[in-house]
């Protein structure tokens, strides 16, 4: 099996790390994710990862419950740093060299995000985990993933979810939701399909970065996506 891409950006959901508990970090789940990424690294040595913090706190949810949105978002960024460090530990346990680059300066635990430094790490075969989103409130980690993908010139953005692609509606609540195998950026934006923030989709469109939305819970799904096998939904021109 060979890779269809030379450099990828993988977007992971923080909620995925929690497993069935819905909160915190499951050692079993994160070890399983690390092992899958190790297998992918054998095909694609240049992998960037953006991880969310929803298993600890979701800024937009906390804001809807009365917390100041800016403060809530910064807390969410800090949660993503926690997840990045946990993922770094799990990846290094399976033999992968990693670096955590944070958009918020925390020199004791992560390098500050510098684009050229990130690219250099990738060129040396190191896994780069981008933490703390964009470093700004009011932007999701989806937008951070699209931004980092553009900055490092990734050839594809892989969005790992808990469903097997993009649907016309939420398949968990609407039994008549239709699954798409392919979509254009424009249609995804016009129909307001909520698999990713519209700003993130627009950024990928402007930089011609295809998005593959797939089910992370299926073993081997990341490997299939990077090898060019059909999985999930492809969003492109």
* Whole-number Å distance between alpha carbons of 138 and 73: 7
* Cα atoms in the Cβ-side hemisphere of radius 13 Å centred on 100: 26
End-to-end CA separation in angstroms for the chain:
26
| Residue 69 maps to a domain | yes
Q: How far is CA 107 from CA 7, 62, 82, in A?
A: 27, 27, 14
- HEC per residue, the chain: CCCCCCEEEEEECHHHHHHHHCCCCCHHHHHHHHHHHHHHHCCCCEEEEEECCCCCCCHHHHHHCCCCHHHHHHHHHHHHHHHHHHHHHHHHHCCCCEEEEECCCCCCCCEECCHHHHHHHHHCCCEEEEECCCCCCCCCHHHHHHHHHHHCCCCEEEEEECCCCEECCCCCCCCCCCEECEEEHHHHHHCCCCCCCHHHHHHHHHCCCCEEEEECCCCCHHHHHHCCCCCCEEEEC
For residues 85 and 102, is the Cβ–Cβ distance under 8 A? no
User: Is 80 exceeded by the pLDDT of residue 14?
Assistant: yes
Token digits for 207? 């930089």
How many domains in the chain? 1
- Confidence label for 59 from pLDDT (cuts 50, 70 and 90): low
Mean pLDDT, all residues of the chain? 91
Residue that has been written with the tokens 């932007």 in this structure = 139
Instruction: Give CA–CA dist 56/59, Å, rounded.
Output: 10
Residue 1 lies in a domain: no
Confidence at residue 148, expressed as pLDDT on a 0 to 100 scale: 98
CATH number at residue 208: 3.40.1160.10
- Tell me the mean pLDDT in the region 118-132: 97
1 confidence band (pLDDT: 50, 70, 90): low
pLDDT digits (tens, 9 = 90+) for 70-81: 888 999 999 999
At 8 the pLDDT is 97
- Looking at residue 213, what is its pLDDT? 96
Q: Which domain holds residue 186?
A: 7-156+164-236
> What is the distance between the alpha carbons of residues 47 and 163, in angstroms, rounded to a whole number?
23
2, part of any domain:
no
What is the average per-residue pLDDT within 100-129?
96
């Amino acid at each position: 099996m060979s890779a269809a891409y030379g450099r990828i950006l993988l977007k992971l959901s923080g909620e995925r790390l929690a497993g069935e508990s819905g909160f915190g970090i499951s050692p079993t789940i994160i070890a399983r994710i690390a092992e899958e990424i190790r297998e992918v690294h054998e095909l694609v040595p240049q992998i960037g990862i953006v991880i969310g913090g929803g298993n600890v706190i979701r800024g937009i949810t906390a804001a809807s419950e009365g917390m100041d949105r800016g403060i809530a978002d910064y807390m969410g960024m800090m949660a993503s740093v926690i997840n990045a460090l946990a993922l770094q530990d799990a990846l290094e346990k399976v033999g992968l060299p990693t670096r955590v680059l944070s958009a918020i300066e925390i020199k004791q635990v992560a390098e500050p995000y510098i684009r050229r430094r990130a690219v250099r790490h990738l060129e040396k075969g190191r896994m780069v985990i981008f933490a703390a989103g964009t470093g700004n409130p009011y932007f999701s980690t989806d937008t951070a993933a699209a931004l980092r993908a553009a900055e490092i010139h990734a050839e594809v953005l892989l969005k790992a979810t808990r469903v097997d692609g993009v649907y016309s509606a939420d398949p968990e609540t609407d039994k008549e939701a239709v699954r798409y195998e392919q979509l254009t950026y424009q249609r995804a934006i016009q129909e307001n399909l909520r698999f990713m923030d519209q700003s993130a989709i627009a950024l990928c469109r402007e930089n011609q970065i295809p998005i593959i939305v797939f089910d992370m819970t299926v073993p081997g799904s990341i490997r299939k996506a990077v090898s060019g096998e059909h999985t999930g939904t492809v969003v492109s021109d």
